[in-house]
A and B are shown apart, each in its own frame.
Chain A
């Protein structure tokens, strides 16, 4: 009986770990999708309405953690500091790319922003593709493997 209970607990832990890993990749993908949306939104807004950075960051609507990342950085932008976005969900290289875009936006003028957007859109699309691939290849795979490991534990215990 004890063995069955332990096996069930083991199964639950494995499933939980699998779901947590999958969620990590899922939320990373969502952030990068919203970042790509933000770059596109910024391109439109800065072209037609010349919207300033605090308004861009405050008005952008999305469901992922990216909204909070922007909200945390607005006061720094108003005070003339760098818009340093932080997140424990993104890889360092992704976060660096996001912050490089924000820095570029805070320094470019009307004529140089076109080049910034072209470059940043390419990078953001690449980052989104990689994150999507990793979610499938790592997140979903690990979730399945952890479930199978849990089932294996139950079988072994029985």
Chain B
């Protein structure tokens, strides 16, 4: 983290929140650094300049912005050990599509934490495994839960993890001996080849975007592959409104909340 943030921001962050508890660092041009942990957040005593934002991005991309174009188009860059950096600034639009961002104004550094045992409370619905959807608002801990589900399932089933944003390897996270990974590749691009070539029993996917990803999920389910996935929403009802197909495709929905802390299970519903 010191390498990424530079000495001044790093010192301010660790003075605000112990580093091993930090889950998110927000750098905004001209504003104080904001640091979050699982139960809240606070401002650190350092005001970010535009040079700080540029320097962190430069270190994150190892001075190779050109190599991160696909990620930038989607508003983030990945850093090592599952750290993801969201970017905000001036979008460059061509033919109705964002092709990149420039003049970066804010960065959101998300630091994933592996919590072994996060899925212990839902062990009874993992064996025998049926299609499972994790529903969570942003910052609810869905990747952490999915990562632990992947760890448990890959102990004795061929489990393919479609890790679109390189977040599953948080700090060198451990998985079972039957885990396979396709990393930093959009789900819709990886899916077809993965199903044919890897022949998985279970596929794990984070952050489904219904209009883009549901056709892939349908294809997988109709091909007899089991799915564990996550989607942004705050309740089963709202998730169903957003995407009615969920009811047909998934057997269980686990709803997460960030109250009292990220990763808290609100409900487990049979769909």
Is the A/B pair a real complex? Answer: yes
Indicate if A69 sits at the interface (CB-CB under 8 A). Answer: no
Residue pair B69, A50 in contact (C-beta under 8 Å): yes
Residue pair B62, A109 in contact (C-beta under 8 Å): no
Residues of A within 8 A of B63 (CB): 52-54, 77-78, 80, 83, 105-107
Residue pair B59, A52 in contact (C-beta under 8 Å): no
Residue pair B64, A53 in contact (C-beta under 8 Å): yes
Number of residues on chain B facing chain A (CB within 8 A): 19
Residues of A within 8 A of B99 (CB): 111
Indicate if B61 sits at the interface (CB-CB under 8 A). Answer: yes
In the assembled complex, the Cα of A78 lies from the Cα of B3 at a distance in Å of 9
The closest CB in chain A to the CB of B64 belongs to A52
Indicate if A51 sits at the interface (CB-CB under 8 A). Answer: yes
Checking B3, B66, B92 against A79 with a beta-carbon cut-off of 8 angstroms, the contacting residue is: B3
In the assembled complex, the Cα of A83 lies from the Cα of B62 at a distance in Å of 11
Convert A98-137 into 0s and 1s, putting 1 for each residue whose CB lies closer than 8 angstroms to a CB of B. Answer: 0000000111111101000000000000000000000000
Residue pair B3, A110 in contact (C-beta under 8 Å): no
Indicate if A86 sits at the interface (CB-CB under 8 A). Answer: no
Chain B min CB distance to A71 (Å): 16
Contact residues of B between 50 and 109, Cβ < 8 Å to A:
55-56, 58-59, 61-67, 69, 72, 92, 99-100, 102
Contact residues of A between 129 and 157, Cβ < 8 Å to B:
none
Indicate if A46 sits at the interface (CB-CB under 8 A). Answer: yes
Contact residues of B between 204 and 241, Cβ < 8 Å to A:
none
Given A79-B3, A110-B100, decide whether A54 and B62 contact each other with a Cβ distance below 8 A: yes
In the assembled complex, the Cα of A106 lies from the Cα of B65 at a distance in Å of 7
Chain A min CB distance to B5 (Å): 11
Residues of B within 8 A of A113 (CB): 66
Residue pair B100, A109 in contact (C-beta under 8 Å): yes
Given A52-B67, A109-B69, A110-B69, decide whether A77 and B62 contact each other with a Cβ distance below 8 A: yes
Residue pair B66, A110 in contact (C-beta under 8 Å): yes
Checking A51, A52, A79, A111 against B61 with a beta-carbon cut-off of 8 angstroms, the contacting residue is: A52
Residues of A within 8 A of B3 (CB): 78-79
Chain A min CB distance to B83 (Å): 15
Residues of B within 8 A of A54 (CB): 62-64
Chain B min CB distance to A10 (Å): 52
Chain A min CB distance to B103 (Å): 12
Given A51-B67, A77-B63, A79-B3, decide whether A109 and B58 contact each other with a Cβ distance below 8 A: no
Contact residues of A between 6 and 59, Cβ < 8 Å to B:
46, 50-54
Residue pair B66, A46 in contact (C-beta under 8 Å): yes
Residue pair B102, A109 in contact (C-beta under 8 Å): yes
Chain B min CB distance to A75 (Å): 11
Residues of B within 8 A of A107 (CB): 63, 65
The closest CB in chain B to the CB of A113 belongs to B66
Checking B6, B55, B59, B72 against A109 with a beta-carbon cut-off of 8 angstroms, the contacting residue is: B72
15 residue pairs A–B, Cβ–Cβ below 8 Å: A51-B64, A52-B61, A54-B63, A80-B56, A80-B58, A80-B62, A105-B66, A106-B64, A107-B63, A108-B65, A109-B65, A110-B66, A110-B69, A111-B92, A111-B100
| Interface residue ranges, B against A (CB under 8 Å) | 3, 6, 55-56, 58-59, 61-67, 69, 72, 92, 99-100, 102
Beyond known contacts A51-B67, A52-B63, A109-B72: 18 more, CB 8 A cutoff: A52-B61, A52-B67, A53-B63, A54-B63, A77-B62, A78-B3, A78-B59, A78-B62, A78-B63, A79-B59, A80-B56, A106-B65, A109-B69, A109-B102, A110-B66, A111-B69, A111-B92, A113-B66
| 9 closest residue pairs by CB, A with B | A110-B69, A80-B59, A52-B64, A106-B63, A80-B58, A50-B67, A110-B66, A53-B64, A52-B67
